[in-house]
Structure 1
């Protein structure tokens, strides 16, 4: 089973989803803006990515610039902020088993299939 944290408005996310479908993967599609992962779920995904919360933030988003830029938050605080503001989470994130990757470019997901 492959899980994709997906935003249908994002072309890279749509391309990644299509690539996974072409590969015949059994998919769980999580539209994370509607079905937001908890801070604990995000922590698990980040562990699989091998990244810290700040490394998967979309720093170009207005809410980041207006509210969170240049603040010294801890990893735990970032996890909570991301759970409360899912638009800040980089996309798409694809998880298979104990591995995960950000699908930018979409072909990166092939590394974990």
Structure 2
């Protein structure tokens, strides 16, 4: 089943959700701000995205700027920061089988699902 890590306050995430609804495919909505992923879950998502943890961070978020921006951090510390402050996780993330994408571009999403 397709999963979307969704933030209803984000326009890109809402557009992605609409596209999934129009696709008529079964999917699960995960509101990661209310139910943040565990360390292992986020690590698995990062692996499915085939990126480094830092590439999933929303670096313009005030929390990142205030608390983490100029720090030298390990991958584990970056993942922990995203779990502690889930607003730092880039969105929307769409997962299908063993692959995932950051679906900010709807054309990318269409080819993925």
TM-score tier after normalising by the smaller chain length: over 0.9
TM-score normalised according to structure 1 size: 0.96
C-alpha separation in 2, matches of 1:88 and 1:76: 15
5+ residue gaps, structure 1, are none
SS at match of 1:18: helix
Question: CA-to-partner distance for each residue in 1:48-84, whole Å, 9 max, x for gaps?
Answer: 0001110011011000000000211111111111111
Range that drifts further, 99-108 or 52-61:
99-108
Residue 42 of structure 1: aligned partner: 42
TM-score normalised according to structure 2 size: 0.96
5+ residue gaps, structure 2, are none
Counterparts of 1:47-58 in structure 2, within 5 Å, are: 47-58=47-58
Q: Cα RMSD over matched residues?
A: 0.8
Residue 90 of structure 1: aligned partner: 90
* Counterpart check, 1:75 vs 2:41: no
- Kept in 2, the 8 Å contact 1:16–1:106? The answer is yes
Residue 63 of structure 1: aligned partner: 63
C-alpha separation in 1, matches of 2:71 and 2:109: 32
C-alpha separation in 2, matches of 1:23 and 1:63: 35
Residue 107 of structure 2: aligned partner: 107
**Count of matched residue positions in the alignment of Structure 1 and Structure 2:** 113
Residue 11 of structure 1: aligned partner: 11
